[in-house]
Amino acid sequence: MNVIAAVDNHWAIGSKGGLLVRIPLDQKTFRETTMGKTIVLGRKTLSTFPNGLPLQGRKNVILSRNPDYKVKGATVLHSKEELFALLKEIGEEDVFVIGGGTVYEMLLPYCRLAYITKIDYHYAADTFFPDLDQMENWKQVEEGEEQTYFDLEFTFCKYENQASLPIE
């Protein structure tokens, strides 16, 4: 399983239920990286998508504690155990965890690779991604060229979890 996120200098990912910033090249990279794959996300993250609908061209797996929650065009699961049972069926190589904060924290230990867009800015935020630079088992293995979007500088980075937990 993999994870993908855009973070600021303090590993912030969101504020008041939304993204901190929308950078077209980051969105394009996200789309290209996840197209044709399985994406795992929480109900609140789904509600931030256009019209609150699943992303096309991907198998959307929504995690929700509400047993009555249903989404047309997506698989809704209610626990990590249900998700792991599905992953055993479909395989985990082409699975991307895409948010939000609670889902990232729950599934990060099971992810092998992290695709992180680092934005050189400090936003006012209320949701954070774990700081991979401070985690012993995560090592940065790639860093792309610095990019610019208006006055924002950002870099595409890839991390590897050298102690990812097995899906059981």
Q: What is the mean pLDDT of each run of 10 residues along the chain (168 residues)?
A: 98 94 97 98 94 96 95 96 94 94 96 98 97 98 97 98 91
The pLDDT, as a whole number, for residue 168 is 81
Q: Would you call 40 helix, strand, or coil by DSSP?
A: strand
Any idea of the CA torsion for 87, 90, 94, 98, to the nearest 10 degrees? -40
> In this structure, what DSSP letter does residue 17 have?
T
Domain ranges of the chain: 2-134
CATH architecture of 2-134: 3-Layer(aba) Sandwich (3.40)
**31: Cβ contacts below 8 Å, ≥ 6 apart:** none
**79: Cβ contacts below 8 Å, ≥ 6 apart:** 63
The pLDDT, as a whole number, for residue 151 is 95
Q: 23 phi and psi, to 5 degrees?
A: -115, 115
> In this structure, what DSSP letter does residue 53 have?
P
